[in-house]
Chains A and B, each alone.
Chain A
Amino acid sequence: MDKMPRWADIFLVPLINLMLAFFVAGLVVLAIGQNPFDMIYFMIKGALGSTSGIGFTLYYATNYMFAGLAVAIAFHARLFNIGGEGQAGIGGIGVTIVLLAFDWPHWTIALPAAIIGGAVFGAAWAAIPAYLQAKRGSHIVVTTIMFNFIAAALLGYLLNGILKSPLSQNAESLGFPPGAHLPTAHEVLAPLGIAFSKSAPLNISFLLALLCAWGLWVLLWRTRLGYDIRTFGRNEKAAIYAGISPVRVTVIAMLISGALAGMLAINVVMGEQERLIAGFVEGAGFVGIAVALMGRSHPFGIVLAALLFGMLTQGGFELLWEMPAISKEMVLVIQALIILFTGALDNMVREPLEQLFTRIRKAQS
């Protein structure tokens, strides 16, 4: 028998964790002499109060979905991929090479090619740590951290060298051909008579991210490979005894993880910036860790968590105007506290709750 009912495990524990995180964040705001309720009001208003706000919120959420799904698939195989940041950066190189190679006639042709470019490059960057973990026993956490830094150096090198635009002073590539322009929310919704902000970077990649979430759910719970991955993650010894190859599972899970992280570049590089700019990932790869933890590594949970973090990010930028005394880095503090309470301090809430439920059951029987 489970120690507590399913609803408590899936909803109650994360909810209490989240409330604790926000409570402590509120204390931080109080400590710097500001009103936490004002902050929440302005953040929600900034994130959802206008179509521009919603557009930015969903744009960030798209990044976090890709990053969160990437972390989650690795989690299911009991691998901690901290390398999403680097894999997304390298994915950006793949997207850029594909999009600069041809004068693309239409985005419907350019998008699949760019997806392949981003996914293959992202997966390739994850493949080396995966191989080293599976074959040589080097700890994947450390190698993926190292690969983040190597990726940043590589990106900097290419953007100051071969990929650098001769037209620009900055470390950025040439702009992509107009045919590679992804439809934005404004362009999609205008013919339907819905007025959506022109400035918001929300684009068709959002749907791609949702599709990936659904695809990952199918993969994990409806295919044999998914079963292998989850079995391996639950109990390595049992998996090996059942004839599941640890090398195969480790490498495949990491390849999918890297590919998902690489696809983050579709949203940012192809959808928004339409060129490759150094440091474009902006920490989204790390936010993916928080998203995956919050979403309990379930695609549906990740979509919800990504929306929450998208709101936080956009709301944080809004604070800049409404409450200048609170810097937008407050969002980092909230993210950190969510990671801390839902990830590391989970047992602090879970154990007393488990005891409580056991006592209730005993009293009932």
Chain B
Amino acid sequence: MDIVLQIMLTMDMSIRLSVVLLLACLAGLFSERAGVVDIGLEGKMLIAAFFAAAAAYHSESAWLGILAGCAASVTFSMIHAVASITYRGNQLISGVAVNFLASGLTVVIGNAWYKKGGQTPTLSGDGRFYDITLPFADYFQTFPMPGPIYSELISGHKAVVYIAYAAVPLAWWVLYRTRFGLRLRAVGENPASVDTAGISVVKIRYQALIIAGILCGIAGAYLSTAQAAGFGKEMTAGRGFIALAALIFAKWRPWQAMGACLLFGFLEAISNLYPNINVFGLFTIPVQFTQALPYILTVVILAGFVGKAIPPKAVGEPYVKER
């Protein structure tokens, strides 16, 4: 029974930790499928986390926090869009700038407003998201095995967790079953053909980046108003890059992205719960290895030793109309 409990605990934590990755990964999915590389996911989440915490603190509403986070994140997304779409600048460099800007601005503004070295005041009450107990969860608690899975794993998460997991089928539907999705994917593969059909490449790429901004906004808000109770300096801690890794791991597809994020969330949970794993008393897997595993796996996938990860064809290239 003890082992079952441990497994449940690890899985539960994996789900919680994968939320941020999943939202950021879907953000990257929309952006890169439209042909815009987005290494600024990290920065967008960070700025969103800050403004979400600040807004939630002043308004005492976590939902207004999400709104403020999304506004901040979309603003940053638009900086990226103006640079890389309108002015056809280097998308990677623009992404690097967005990341720097977020790590600087959050601390500068945070320190000016709250004088706590970049932190926001601790959130309490309605400023935070709390666990939601789904109907009948307590009832199923007493049941044998499949019961606890419902009451422990599926029930008892914060609202954003359910939003994130609902976003996966939604993203799939938008990308593969709507006209907009078809155009978006075409813009990422062959923008000239979309242009020939009389559809604005620029407009679709902007729309994709707005969606990416909103998703990163929710992810950042989750970090500061649900996972933690306030904003802390550099609190995204490289999750934007793990999300990027997950996107490659998933080969730019939504359902696989969920799988990759769950896997990477699981690895993070393992490194939190069991820092050093002793394998049958033979050797120890150090915590640093578990932490680095998402990146190692991504490099292996990228190297094409285990299946080839082929990015959208036009990704990273500004679209220049023929003159």
Interface residues of A, Cβ cutoff 8 Å to B: 28, 32-34, 80, 82, 128, 132, 136-139, 141-143, 145-147, 149-150, 153-154, 156-157, 160-161, 286, 289-290, 293, 325-327, 329-337, 339-340, 343-348
Binds A, one of B13-21, B198-206, B287-295: B287-295
Q: Find A339's partner among B91, B96, B295, B296 (CB 8 Å cutoff).
A: B96
Q: CA of A115 to CA of B98 in the docked complex: distance in angstroms?
A: 34
- Is B94 interfacial (CB-CB < 8 Å)? yes
Q: CA of A80 to CA of B90 in the docked complex: distance in angstroms?
A: 11
Given the complex, which residues of B lie within 8 Å of A145, measured CB to CB? 39, 241, 244
Binds A, one of B50-58, B77-85, B126-134, B175-183: B77-85
Given the complex, which residues of B lie within 8 Å of A333, measured CB to CB? 100-101, 104-105, 108
- Check if B302 sits within 8 Å of A132, measured CB to CB: yes
Q: Find B304's partner among A136, A336, A340 (CB 8 Å cutoff).
A: A136
Q: CA of A2 to CA of B138 in the docked complex: distance in angstroms?
A: 75
Given the complex, which residues of B lie within 8 Å of A139, measured CB to CB? 302, 311
- Check if A161 sits within 8 Å of B87, measured CB to CB: no
- Check if B108 sits within 8 Å of A345, measured CB to CB: no
- Is B121 interfacial (CB-CB < 8 Å)? no
Given the complex, which residues of A lie within 8 Å of B90, measured CB to CB? 343-344
Q: How far is the CB of B106 from chain A (nearest CB, A)?
A: 8
Given the complex, which residues of A lie within 8 Å of B107, measured CB to CB? 327, 329, 332
Q: How far is the CB of B29 from chain A (nearest CB, A)?
A: 15
Q: Mark B233-247, 1 if CB is under 8 A from A, else 0.
A: 000001001001100
Q: How far is the CB of B189 from chain A (nearest CB, A)?
A: 17
- Check if A142 sits within 8 Å of B248, measured CB to CB: yes
| Given A149-B241, A327-B112, A329-B104, 18 extra CB contacts under 8 A | A33-B112, A82-B92, A142-B302, A145-B244, A149-B295, A156-B288, A157-B288, A289-B93, A326-B108, A329-B103, A329-B118, A336-B98, A337-B101, A339-B100, A340-B79, A343-B89, A343-B97, A347-B88
- Check if B288 sits within 8 Å of A28, measured CB to CB: no
- Check if B101 sits within 8 Å of A336, measured CB to CB: yes
- Check if B100 sits within 8 Å of A286, measured CB to CB: yes
Q: Find B83's partner among A142, A331, A344 (CB 8 Å cutoff).
A: A344
- Check if A344 sits within 8 Å of B303, measured CB to CB: no
Within 8 A of A (CB), among B229-284: 238, 241, 244-245, 248
Selected A-B contacts with CB under 8 Å, 25 pairs: A34-B112, A142-B248, A146-B241, A146-B302, A149-B238, A150-B292, A150-B296, A150-B299, A157-B288, A289-B93, A289-B96, A290-B100, A327-B108, A327-B118, A329-B104, A329-B107, A332-B104, A333-B105, A336-B97, A340-B79, A343-B94, A343-B96, A344-B94, A345-B87, A345-B94
Given contacts A146-B298, A344-B89, contact A154 B292 (CB under 8 A): yes
- Is B307 interfacial (CB-CB < 8 Å)? no
Q: CA of A309 to CA of B112 in the docked complex: distance in angstroms?
A: 24
Given the complex, which residues of A lie within 8 Å of B93, measured CB to CB? 289, 293, 339, 343-344
Q: CA of A136 to CA of B83 in the docked complex: distance in angstroms?
A: 30
- Check if B292 sits within 8 Å of A340, measured CB to CB: no
Given the complex, which residues of B lie within 8 Å of A337, measured CB to CB? 97, 101
Given contacts A136-B304, A145-B244, contact A332 B96 (CB under 8 A): no
- Is B109 interfacial (CB-CB < 8 Å)? yes
Given the complex, which residues of B lie within 8 Å of A347, measured CB to CB? 87-89
Q: How far is the CB of A335 from chain B (nearest CB, A)?
A: 6
- Check if B245 sits within 8 Å of A153, measured CB to CB: no
- Check if B83 sits within 8 Å of A345, measured CB to CB: yes
Scoring B39, B107, B299 by chain A CB atoms within 10 A of each residue's CB, the highest score goes to: B299
Q: Which residue of A lies closest to B241 (CB)?
A: A145
Q: How far is the CB of A175 from chain B (nearest CB, A)?
A: 24
Q: CA of A139 to CA of B245 in the docked complex: distance in angstroms?
A: 12
Q: CA of A32 to CA of B108 in the docked complex: distance in angstroms?
A: 8
- Is B111 interfacial (CB-CB < 8 Å)? yes
- Is B286 interfacial (CB-CB < 8 Å)? yes
Given the complex, which residues of B lie within 8 Å of A161, measured CB to CB? 286
- Check if A330 sits within 8 Å of B304, measured CB to CB: no
Given the complex, which residues of A lie within 8 Å of B292, measured CB to CB? 149-150, 153-154
Given the complex, which residues of A lie within 8 Å of B101, measured CB to CB? 332-333, 336-337, 340
- Check if A143 sits within 8 Å of B96, measured CB to CB: no
Chain A to chain B: the 7 pairs with minimum beta-carbon distance, closest first:
A332-B104, A336-B100, A344-B94, A333-B104, A153-B292, A344-B89, A336-B101
Q: Which residue of B lies closest to A129 (CB)?
A: B299
- Check if A82 sits within 8 Å of B108, measured CB to CB: no
Given the complex, which residues of B lie within 8 Å of A33, measured CB to CB? 112
Q: Mark B294-320, 1 if CB is under 8 A from A, else 0.
A: 011011001110000101000000000
Q: How far is the CB of A316 from chain B (nearest CB, A)?
A: 10
Q: Which residue of B lies closest to A32 (CB)?
A: B112
Given the complex, which residues of B lie within 8 Å of A138, measured CB to CB? 299, 302-304, 309
Q: CA of A334 to CA of B104 in the docked complex: distance in angstroms?
A: 8
Q: Find B104's partner among A150, A153, A331 (CB 8 Å cutoff).
A: A331
Q: CA of A347 to CA of B298 in the docked complex: distance in angstroms?
A: 34
Q: How far is the CB of B79 from chain A (nearest CB, A)?
A: 7
Given the complex, which residues of A lie within 8 Å of B245, measured CB to CB? 142, 146
- Check if A325 sits within 8 Å of B100, measured CB to CB: no
- Check if B89 sits within 8 Å of A157, measured CB to CB: no
Q: CA of A249 to CA of B309 in the docked complex: distance in angstroms?
A: 24
Q: CA of A345 to CA of B87 in the docked complex: distance in angstroms?
A: 6
- Check if B87 sits within 8 Å of A348, measured CB to CB: yes
- Check if B108 sits within 8 Å of A153, measured CB to CB: no
- Check if A132 sits within 8 Å of B299, measured CB to CB: yes
Q: CA of A157 to CA of B109 in the docked complex: distance in angstroms?
A: 35
- Check if A329 sits within 8 Å of B108, measured CB to CB: yes
Given the complex, which residues of B lie within 8 Å of A334, measured CB to CB? 104
Q: CA of A156 to CA of B292 in the docked complex: distance in angstroms?
A: 11
Q: How far is the CB of B161 from chain A (nearest CB, A)?
A: 25
- Check if B39 sits within 8 Å of A345, measured CB to CB: no
Q: How far is the CB of B115 from chain A (nearest CB, A)?
A: 8
Q: Which residue of B lies closest to A80 (CB)?
A: B92
Scoring A161, A325, A326, A344 by chain B CB atoms within 10 A of each residue's CB, the highest score goes to: A344
Given the complex, which residues of A lie within 8 Å of B309, measured CB to CB? 138
Q: CA of A311 to CA of B304 in the docked complex: distance in angstroms?
A: 44
Q: Find A340's partner among B97, B298, B311 (CB 8 Å cutoff).
A: B97
Given the complex, which residues of A lie within 8 Å of B113, measured CB to CB? 32
Given the complex, which residues of B lie within 8 Å of A325, measured CB to CB? 111-112
